[in-house]
């Protein structure tokens, strides 16, 4: 929940904009800051304060406890020019919140934590508990002093600017095991362990926590890597388990007894089977929520615990970079690029965003073609646990890499997609509003599709009077297809139908022209172009290509009513009174 604290009219206006941008995720605290800010502090994870930094600091000073538990606070000035990450920059995410607030309000984010200022990841940005020499290792990274990364398994984390291999005094160790500490080592605790818990009715919180601590110590594992407790549904409300979980901020995962009964375990028990309907609770619940058992069942008078480890799931982000210019690259795409440690894509696209990648990011760039290999590389990297961004121009799902990649990806990796502004949309915006009504997008490349299929689609679009957006319109080796497609459209459209040719939309050398079906010279078109052919209703108005939304909803309604059964005058009268929202699609509403 994001608390919005506003005391002035301008502040309330800005707060309302955040409210509208993040529906359901904000709570308003209007009123004297001295009263409402402490309330927001107690009730919210994040706070955006429309108040001076000084005033905010004075009010929150007595409330500050720890960067791990305090909310993130961002201050926005009266004219919404700056969004300042005040406290909780890394640990609570105030730096990120400042960027998001700035994005909505058109403000400048102000971040002062050293590692973000220099573009290096803060060791605590992962949100993972970090132990040991955090300051010394952060400093070493900033100073480019050799620092190595040692990790038990590959985790999908952002790139860290570490030295590849070799010996170094400074180390970042990612492990859930207890390891010797020193003043040049940071240990990051990944969210890898699940503790299965069984208990008799009335077990105490202390007994549960005590047994968990014993089990962790004897297995040489860190409590900081425990992500959850797991148990059988029948114990979901067992007070000792619930209280232990609450004390450590662990969620409790519950499984039905029959699910647990199906999990093979090393130490099943008949007594447990008789009591709760599964021969194992602790071991089975731990395994049902993770992948491998790392500590078998251990008992106290009234409790049992076992520990299992989760295998990391790699992450594949399909990131659309937009047509080219930086301000059409979405903030979410930037965040995904900086969230990744491996970037896969064509040289041209990777080069376009090279300056945004974190130092240490591995770039696997390839030449044109080789789509299959590129998709395979991205999926394999994610499958081996990395955070991978597969990038493409426009939208990664439009005539691009997302579909070959997802055809190969299984459910063993997480996939996120960041939509991008396509070449079609970018080109349309440059020439007016040609897509104001139904349109079809057709690629003229017969590399993956036989020409007969393409031709059939062009014919259908021509007969259906769709505006047509042609991708891959013409290359040196494919020089007749565009002419053939235009000829088909010409059988159904007048010679003066507007046609746009846009080359390198929103890239350097951009060229956008509006001509007509009769005048278009296919020789002026190449692979860096999009061609948009208007429908029967498309006009050129003041040099801009415009496809009207419709011919007037009234005409349409009359025609529709006339077509329907006779004797429905009352309906006709009613339908004439207001436009029917269902008709929006047909473009006949004045909406
Ligand atoms: N995924 C991309 C399309 C890739 S297919 C997208 O969503 O836009 C490549 C074709 O897209 C090119 O042959 C060209 O027709 C078109 N294209 C891509 N970028 C373009 C740009 N900036 N200007 C004009 N056409 C472009």
Per-residue pLDDT tens listing for the chain (591 residues): 999 999 999 999 999 999 998 988 999 998 899 999 999 999 999 999 999 999 999 999 999 998 888 999 999 999 999 999 999 988 788 988 998 899 889 888 898 877 655 566 667 667 788 888 888 888 888 888 999 999 999 999 999 888 877 778 899 999 999 998 889 999 999 999 999 999 999 999 999 999 999 999 999 999 999 999 999 999 999 999 999 999 999 999 999 999 999 999 999 999 999 999 999 999 999 999 999 999 999 999 999 999 999 999 999 999 999 999 999 999 999 999 999 999 999 999 999 999 999 888 999 998 877 888 999 999 999 999 999 999 999 999 999 999 999 999 999 999 999 999 999 999 999 999 999 999 999 999 988 899 999 999 999 999 999 999 999 999 999 999 999 999 999 999 999 999 999 999 999 999 999 999 999 999 999 999 999 999 999 999 999 999 999 765 455 566 666 666 555 454 544 444 444 444 444 433 333
CA of 393 to the centre of ligand 1 (A): 7
- Nearest Cα neighbor of 55 from 26, 80, 32, 23 is 32
Sign for the CA dihedral angle at 152, 158, 164, 169 comes to negative
**What is the side-by-side strand order in the sheet with 130-132?**
130-132, 185-188, 170-174, 147-151
Element (H, E) at 187: strand 185-188
DSSP-based three-state secondary structure for 147 = strand
How would you label 95-107 residue by residue, b for 16+ Cβ within 10 Å and e otherwise? bbbbbbbbebbeb
* 312, 126 contact by CB (below 8 A): no
C-alpha span between 225 and 240 (Å, rounded)? 21
The DSSP code for 129 is -
Alpha helices in 353-414 (DSSP H): 371-383, 402-408
- Nearest Cα neighbor of 113 from 132, 83, 131, 87 is 87
* 121, 88 contact by CB (below 8 A): no
Residue nearest to atom 26 of ligand 1 (CA): 423
The pLDDT of residue 589? 37
Question: Within 6 Å (CB) of ligand 1, which residues are found?
Answer: 323-324, 392-395, 398-400, 422-423, 427, 471-473, 502-507, 527-530
Residue 203, classified by CB atoms within 10 Å of its CB into exposed (0-12), middle (13-18) or buried (19+), is: buried
C-alpha span between 100 and 83 (Å, rounded)? 9
The DSSP code for 341 is S
C-alpha span between 196 and 182 (Å, rounded)? 32
Residue nearest to atom 6 of ligand 1 (CA): 394
Secondary structure percentages of the chain, helix, strand, coil, to 5: 35, 25, 40
What's the predicted TM-score (pTM) here? 0.78
C-alpha span between 309 and 292 (Å, rounded)? 5
The pLDDT of residue 588? 38
C-alpha span between 452 and 470 (Å, rounded)? 16
CA of 360 to the centre of ligand 1 (A): 30
From first CA to last CA, the distance across the chain in angstroms is: 34
The pLDDT of residue 330? 95
- Nearest Cα neighbor of 401 from 317, 503, 504 is 317
* 523, 510 contact by CB (below 8 A): no
The pLDDT of residue 47? 97
- Nearest Cα neighbor of 536 from 489, 587, 590 is 489
The pLDDT of residue 75? 97
Mutating to test ligand 1, I would choose from 442, 469, 530 the residue with most ligand atoms within 8 A of its C-beta, which is: 530
Number of other CB atoms surrounding residue 173 within 10 Å: 20
Q: How many helices (H) and strands (E) does the chain have?
A: 20, 28
Residues composing the chain: 591
CA of 487 to the centre of ligand 1 (A): 23
Among the atoms of ligand 1, which is closest to the Cα of residue 470? 15
């Amino acid at each position: 929940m994001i608390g919005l604290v506003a005391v002035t009219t301008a502040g309330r206006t800005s707060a309302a904009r955040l409210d509208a941008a993040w529906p359901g995720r904000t709570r308003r605290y209007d009123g004297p800051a001295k009263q409402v800010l402490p309330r927001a502090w107690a009730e919210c994870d994040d706070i955006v304060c429309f108040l001076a930094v000084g005033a905010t600091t004075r009010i929150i000073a007595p409330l500050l406890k720890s960067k791990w538990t305090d909310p993130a606070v961002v201050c926005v000035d009266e004219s919404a020019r700056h969004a300042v990450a005040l406290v909780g920059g890394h640990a609570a995410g105030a730096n990120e919140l400042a960027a998001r607030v700035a994005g909505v309000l058109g403000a400048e984010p102000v971040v002062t934590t050293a590692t973000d200022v220099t573009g290096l990841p803060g060791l605590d940005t992962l949100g993972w508990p970090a132990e040991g020499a955090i300051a010394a290792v952060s400093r070493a990274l900033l100073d480019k002093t050799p620092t190595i990364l040692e990790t038990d398994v590959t985790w999908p984390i952002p790139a860290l600017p570490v030295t590849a291999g070799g010996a170094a005094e400074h180390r970042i160790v990612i492990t859930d095991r207890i390891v010797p500490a020193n003043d040049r080592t940071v240990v990051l605790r990944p969210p890898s362990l699940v503790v299965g818990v069984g208990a008799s009715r009335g077990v105490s919180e202390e007994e549960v926590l005590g047994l968990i601590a014993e089990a962790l110590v004897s297995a040489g594992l860190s409590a900081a890597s425990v992500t959850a407790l797991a148990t059988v549904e029948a114990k979901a409300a067992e007070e000792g388990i619930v209280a232990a979980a609450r004390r450590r901020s662990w969620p409790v995962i519950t499984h039905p007894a029959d699910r647990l009964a199906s999990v093979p375990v090393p130490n099943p028990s008949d007594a447990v089977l008789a009591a709760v309907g599964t021969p194992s609770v602790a071991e089975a619940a731990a395994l049902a929520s993770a992948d491998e058992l790392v500590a078998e069942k251990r008992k106290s008078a009234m409790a049992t615990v076992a520990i299992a480890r989760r295998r990391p799931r790699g992450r594949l982000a399909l990131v659309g970079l937009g047509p080219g210019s930086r301000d059409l690259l979405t903030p979410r795409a930037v965040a995904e690029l900086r969230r990744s440690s491996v970037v896969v894509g064509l040289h041209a696209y990777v080069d376009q965003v090279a300056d945004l990648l974190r130092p240490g990011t591995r770039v696997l760039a390839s030449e044109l073609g080789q789509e299959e290999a590129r998709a395979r590389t991205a999926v394999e990297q994610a499958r081996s646990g990395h955070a991978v961004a597969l990038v493409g121009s426009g939208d990664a799902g439009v005539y691009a890499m997302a579909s070959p990649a997802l055809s190969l990806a299984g459910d063993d990796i997480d996939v996120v997609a960041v939509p991008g502004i396509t070449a079609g949309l970018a080109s349309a915006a440059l020439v007016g509003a040609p897509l104001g009504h139904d349109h079809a997008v057709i690629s003229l490349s017969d590399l993956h599709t036989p020409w007969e299929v393409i031709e059939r689609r062009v014919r259908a679009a021509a007969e259906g009077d769709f505006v047509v957006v042609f991708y891959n319109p013409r290359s040196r080796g494919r020089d007749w297809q565009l002419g053939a497609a235009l000829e088909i459209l010409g059988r159904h459209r007048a010679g003066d139908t507007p046609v746009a040719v846009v080359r390198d939309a929103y890239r350097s050398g951009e060229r956008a022209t509006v001509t007509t079906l009769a005048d278009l010279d296919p020789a002026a078109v190449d692979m860096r172009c999009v061609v948009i052919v208007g429908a029967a209703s498309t006009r050129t108005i003041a040099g801009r290509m415009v496809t009207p939304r419709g011919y007037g909803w009234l005409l349409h309604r009359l025609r529709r009513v006339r077509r329907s059964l006779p004797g429905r005058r009352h309906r006709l009268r009613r339908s004439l009174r207001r436009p029917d929202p269902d008709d929006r699609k047909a473009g006949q509403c004045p909406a």
